[in-house]
Chains A and B, each alone.
Chain A
Amino acid sequence: MTDFTPTEMMTIAAARALSNDDVCFVGIGAPSAACNVARLTHAPDITLIYESGTVGTKPDVLPLSIGDGELCDTALFTVSVPEMFRYWLQGGRITTGFLGGAQIDRFANLNTTVVGPYDHPKVRLPGGGGAPEIASNCGRIFITMALSKRGFVEKLPFITSMGHGEGGNHRERLGMKTKGPTRVITDLCILEPDPETKELTVVSIHHGVTREQIVENCGWAIKFADTVIETPVPTETELAVLRDINARTKKAHQGTEKGKEAA
């Protein structure tokens, strides 16, 4: 078996969650890596959509931003941003949203807005962008985040996008017809919401990871499902594809430009 890093395992496990029929709204960073690995392995016909308006895009390198030229050059078509959010997202034509965040709670609500009070934040984060409506309008949501006490917190200071709210049937009570977060993929394990309470529960543990490690890295008393499996390790092909695209991406985004040259 080839060695692999926890981040590689996370990305590959996230890629496997996607299928060829998915129409996927892709966030930048880990979600983008996972979606493109899926496209380059088991899901060649997956439709990837970035909120800049590019639909059916097939980038050769991972974009640094949600609007890199590569995304438009390789897209089936490109629409304006209002059209993207109105016709395609709110119109209910996207099966899967793929999000990350700075913080998550046990009901898969996400915070990317502030740490501390909103008016006097300790840390001002970038904000929600497309996430509030991606979370409510896509058919289902996958989330990918490294498991850590800083990220997996007992209580969010701010809910940027709703997952399962207070748990149970909270989404239905608010009139939402979509499933919300159905899977959270971390570098140590995979979590899914309990069918009744909607509390995130460990269902799969990555190779070589212990339950104690998972408990120690989560900010709440994390629960394990009755049946927990071991996540299949990355295949040679999956690892090769991921490493290839990461290497191409690193090369593409490095430059000799120094800030002082740009005006």
Chain B
Amino acid sequence: MARILSLAEAVAENVKDGDTVAMEGFTHLIPYAAGHEVIRQGRKDLFLVRMTPDILYDQLIGVGAARGMKFSWGGNPGVGSLHRFRDAVENQWPRPLEIEEHSHAAMANAYEAGAANLPFATLRGYIGADLPKVNANIKQVTCPFTGEVLAAVPAIRPDVTIIHAQRADRKGNVLLEGIVGVQKEAVLAAKRSIVTVEEIVDELNPPSPNSVVLPTWAVTAVVHVPGGAFPSYAHGYYPRSNAFYIAWDEIARDRETFTAWIKENVLDAKPEDFARHAAKSAKAA
């Protein structure tokens, strides 16, 4: 059964130094507030996993919390580079970053394999591409029925997966809708999971039978953090702040402005600060 905890408790209990951590969200519902708590608690040597590491992982890499990262596309969508990620790969600042790089198709399949308790995933992938030459975790298998040679990648099995969702009920059942990404698979693949939510309600009242529901017994901790996906968004609650994604380019370009931003907005801040983003957008809508 999921326990309903504060963000500080949930992170302290479930994220350990050295863990393999997946914070998922395919553009939508990215768990920014939880990521900031991980930074505040000073976790180190994390191996980060995520299909589309964007600003949140740029922040974790920039503060030196990560020893490595498994990913398939590392940029600021529609804006350009992740400067902290680039600085780590190109100049080893603030520390070297081991990278394991895949394609989206392979990562999505690898999460599914993890959720299905399989050791590996197979796909018709990477044909003619160079990634298999630089990633020893991309191998080939031969179909025992047709003889076709397919790509194989190991299942993703995080120690902990962290996601953000629209709401949970008081028992800890969680509902997500809109662009649901790979979050369900990432939670089911992990040993432990933390879900931050916009609201905790008496009844989930799913407005659509296609909503994704993660039952309380498949989740470790649920935390109420309104606005916790900002500058990403929560469908039905507040929109994506494309202006912030654009602004991040300048903040992250320079080590000093980045460090000052982290101090003011992460180290000296608290989860409740995210609530103003939800409130502001609700008024504007």
Contact = CB atoms under 8 A, between A and B. Distances in A.
B273 A81 contact: no
B86 interface: yes
A260 B108 contact: no
A158 B135 CA distance: 13
Interface string B52-67: 1000000000000000
A82 B265 contact: no
B179 A67 contact: yes
Nearest to B274: A263
Contacts, number: 215
Interface in A22-79: 28-29, 51-54, 63-69, 71-72, 78
Contact of A121 (B90, B235, B246): B90
B175 to A, nearest CB: 15
A89 B149 CA distance: 18
B108 A126 contact: no
Contact of B269 (A121, A253, A263): A263
A175 B148 contact: yes
A170 B125 CA distance: 16
B27 A67 contact: yes
B23 to A, nearest CB: 15
B127 A82 contact: no
A128 interface: yes
Interface stretch (B7-15, B97-105, B195-203, B216-224): B97-105
A250 to B, nearest CB: 11
Given A128-B103, A130-B103, A68 B240 contact: yes
Interface stretch (A139-147, A160-168, A192-200): A160-168
Contacts of B265: 260, 262-263
Contacts of B240: 64-65, 68-69
A127 B72 CA distance: 6
A257 B26 CA distance: 22
A96 interface: no
B242 interface: yes
A133 interface: yes
A176 B127 CA distance: 8
Interface in B60-89: 71-75, 77-79, 81-82, 85-86, 89
A254 interface: yes
Given A82-B185, A128-B73, A262-B265, A175 B242 contact: no
Contact of B134 (A118, A125, A162): A118
- Chain A contact residues, majority secondary structure: loop
Contacts of A227: none
B18 interface: no
A225 interface: no
A69 B129 contact: no
Contact of B104 (A28, A133, A263): A133
Interface in A230-263: 252-260, 262-263
B130 A82 contact: no
Interface in B102-142: 103-105, 108-109, 111-112, 123-131, 134
B245 to A, nearest CB: 6
Interface in A163-184: 165, 170-171, 174-176
B43 to A, nearest CB: 19
Contacts of A89: 105
B109 A82 contact: yes
A132 B129 contact: yes
15 contacts: A51-B104, A64-B242, A65-B78, A65-B240, A71-B179, A78-B179, A80-B181, A81-B181, A82-B108, A129-B52, A132-B126, A160-B130, A255-B242, A257-B244, A259-B250
4 pairs of A and B residues whose beta carbons are closest in the complex: A67-B27, A255-B243, A162-B128, A126-B75
Interface of B: 26-28, 36, 51-52, 71-75, 77-79, 81-82, 85-86, 89-90, 101, 103-105, 108-109, 111-112, 123-131, 134, 148-149, 178-182, 184-185, 212, 230-231, 233, 235, 239-248, 250-251, 261, 264-266, 269, 273-274, 277
Given A29-B78, A132-B103, A161-B129, 6 more contacts: A65-B240, A65-B245, A69-B239, A80-B185, A81-B182, A132-B127
